A and B are shown apart, each in its own frame.
Chain A
Amino acid sequence: MSDLDIKLKVDASGLSCPMPILKATQAIKTVNSGELIEILATDPGSVKDFPSWAASTGNALVEQDSANGKFRFVFRRK
């Protein structure tokens, strides 16, 4: 695991496209620039979606892993 200082954790498990992305968008607005949020999702589409979202918004994808059908993403607000 990691010892990143995660400011906000969002569980978007069970939600399907595009809700995980929309949840991430809402969440990242609540933290300051440079701070980290963590998103959990079960939607397989999110595996490609989140890197696209990161590239488009400039919020850096810091960490990404998956376990037991759950995908975990950590982003840093730009």
Chain B
Amino acid sequence: MSAVATAPAAGAATVGAVKTKKLVIVDYSGELEKTWATLILASTAGAMEMETNVFITFWGLQTFVKDSKRITGENWMQKMMSFMQRPGISHRKLSKMNFMGMGPWMMFKLAKKYNTAKPKELLEMAQAVGVKFIPCQMTMDLFGIKREDLIDGLEEPVGAATALQLMTEADSTLFI
């Protein structure tokens, strides 16, 4: 600790209480490699004892639907959305070079070869180290995704005002 030359930290270190850093990630895009980056950053931030909140909105919310749930939604448009873009963390598409599924397949082969943890494992680790995942209520309504469609361990859904408050209080906010 003494090697880090930051004035506030130096004073706080003697007291034994360092101000906890806060991170907010807005998980919006839901694409495979972006979800992967979100979960690497979130799980590592949690491991570094940063107070980490991931606000899940729009396409990002699909990532947190149970893998077993194939179709979500009430009306035909919502159902078609989930039919064309399968929900669940194990079914994410790459933002480019998806090659109708070959892209993700190759990514996972590379991950296995280089011992890189997959998104699903990272999500479990993130939850284990106290990262909070907060669904966007509006997206749930818009996409017709219900609480029981989502995986366990998520926080209560919130709206934009809560999300913005978290962002303004955070040391760092990322929009992925």
Contacts and interface: CB of A to CB of B under 8 A. Distances in A.
Contact of B115 (A15, A24, A26, A58): A15
Given A14-B115, A15-B115, A57 B44 contact: no
A14 B115 CA distance: 7
B21 A56 contact: yes
B107 interface: no
B47 A19 contact: no
A60 B114 CA distance: 29
B48 A17 contact: no
Interface string A1-36: 000000000000011111101101110000000000
Interface string B103-143: 00000000000111100001001001100000000000000
Nearest to B116: A16
Interface residues of B, number: 20
Contacts, number: 48
A60 B129 CA distance: 19
Nearest to A19: B117
B1 A55 contact: yes
Q: Identify which of A16, A19, A24 gathers the most chain B CB atoms within 10 Å of its CB.
A: A19
B15 to A, nearest CB: 12
21 contacts: A14-B115, A15-B115, A16-B115, A16-B116, A18-B47, A18-B117, A19-B115, A21-B47, A22-B125, A24-B47, A25-B129, A26-B128, A53-B47, A53-B48, A55-B1, A56-B49, A56-B50, A57-B47, A57-B49, A58-B1, A60-B1
Interface of B: 1, 4, 18, 21, 40, 43-44, 46-50, 114-117, 122, 125, 128-129
Given A55-B1, A57-B48, A58-B49, 12 more contacts: A17-B40, A17-B44, A18-B44, A21-B44, A22-B43, A24-B47, A25-B129, A52-B48, A53-B47, A56-B21, A56-B49, A58-B1
